[in-house]
Amino acid sequence: MTHRTHRIIGCGPENPLRVVVVGAGSMGRQWLTTVTASPETELVGIVDLDLAAARRAAADLGRPGLPVGSDAVALAAGNGAQAVVNVTVPEAHHPVTTAALFAGLPVLGEKPIADTLARALSLAAAAEVSGELFMVSQSRRWNPQLFALRGMLRELGAIGTLTTEFFKAPRFGGFREEMAFPLLVDMAIHAFDAARFLLGADPVAAYCQAYNPSWSWYEGDAAASAVFEMAGRAHYAYNGSWCSPGAETSWNGTWRASGEKGSALWDGDNEPVLVADVQPAELPRSPYSDIAGALQVFVESLRTGGVPMGEVHENAMSLAMVEAAVLSARTGRRVLVDDVLDQAYAAALRDENRPDVRAALAGWPSVRDALVP
């Protein structure tokens, strides 16, 4: 079993964490506002390969003199930054986060961990070797209503079925409209991650069909139906489309849990509802929400040494669900998640170019044992 400790940093409201944000795109701008607004953090620089984009973002924040650069480690070395928020495109997550961790900078990264599960495993090992915290901001996990729903599931006894319906019709333009599986790869990870959280269980097998409705404005499959067998015997079914105008669901999706003592429902935007002959104990609430919540948890974890939800090892199985669903959609076959993990592990060992990270990977007893504490 892998041990999980990370370097502690004595930061707090009197001593705000000095942060560089990497990636000044649309989500990067939300992070810039969030890091600026938090009393626990101080924005000390913006990094983007597109320097003009970094400068525009600084000016739009009202801080045209803020240091900008195209390399996070170099900028941090020059201005004493203590941590990195990585909001680059998924392909850049692995190189940017690896460089930061080995420069002694803990990282809070946007989902997904990396563009492939193999590179996500490399990053988990890099966090172990560097001793720095790498937390993924899986922002929808911190929703207080989702926490309440999880409390309701615990009242229902054994859970047989958990479902998500997700139907939206956004027109993003850009890379999402060109990807092979935009819904599964870019969006469904939020729901898959929430399902793991609600059930307290990891996936065992996946079966998935992906398809593209005739009127779709996406090149790849914008719709999918996936069924996961989860440890503990619950089945999780996800049914979604990204080209579904009319009666759109919440961005969180619409949820139903069916258990031996009743059911729980959540429309994704309002308080969940328990329909069962049980008197629930006081429902737990998350004191955090969205990316501001993830940032707060990150800072607290650096201060206390606690291991947060979203730590790279804990988050990796959500990406494994995505890869299992995509593989099933490609092959038309039921896919064992252990096979997906084994293939990713072999690729990670084969492609790793840091000897210390490869040695750490090679020391894992199994991928599941390394990921699940």
Ligand X SMILES: NC(=O)c1ccc[n+]([C@@H]2O[C@H](COP(=O)([O-])OP(=O)(O)OC[C@H]3O[C@@H](n4cnc5c(N)ncnc54)[C@H](O)[C@@H]3O)[C@@H](O)[C@H]2O)c1
Catalog residues that contact ligand X under the rule CB under 6 A.
Answer: 22-28, 47-50, 53, 87-90, 92, 96, 110-111, 139
Of 159 and 292, which has the nearer Cβ to ligand X? Answer: 292
CB of 70: closest distance to ligand X in angstroms? 7
Residue 297 near residue 288, CB atoms below 8 Å: yes
Locate 363 and state its tokens.
């020391």
Instruction: State which residue, 89 or 307, has the beta carbon closest to ligand X.
Output: 89
Q: How far is the CB of 305 from ligand X (least distance, A)?
A: 26
| CB closer to ligand X, 6 vs 111 | 111
Shortest spacing between CB 65 and ligand X, in angstroms: 20
**Lookup: tokens for 96:** 């940017």
* Residue from 337, 344, 342, 340 nearest 206 by CA: 337
Give the separation between CA 121 and CA 345, rounded to whole angstroms. Answer: 7
| Complex with ligand X: residue 130 or 139, whichever CB lies closer | 139
Between residues 17 and 22, which has the closer beta carbon with respect to ligand X? 22
Enumerate the H helices of the chain as residue ranges: 26-37, 51-60, 72-79, 90-102, 117-130, 144-155, 182, 188-199, 290-304, 312-331, 337-351, 355-362, 367-371
Measured from the CB atom, the residue of 97 and 335 that comes closer to ligand X is 97
Please state the separation of Cα 135 from the chain's center in Å: 9
CA 277 to chain centre: 35
User: CA triplet 256, 230, 252: central angle to 5 degrees?
Assistant: 40
Closest approach of ligand X to the CB of residue 84, in Å: 10
**DSSP category for residue 32:** H
- Closest approach of Cβ 187 to ligand X, in Å? 9
Taking the complex as a whole, how short is the minimal distance between the CB of residue 261 and ligand X, in angstroms? 33
Among residues 73, 100, 88, the alpha carbon closest in space to that of 28 is found at 88
Nearest position to ligand X, beta carbon: 25
DSSP 3-state of 311: strand
Least Å distance, CB 75 to ligand X, is 10
The length of the chain in residues reads: 373
The residue among 113 and 367 lying less far from ligand X, judged by its C-beta, is 113
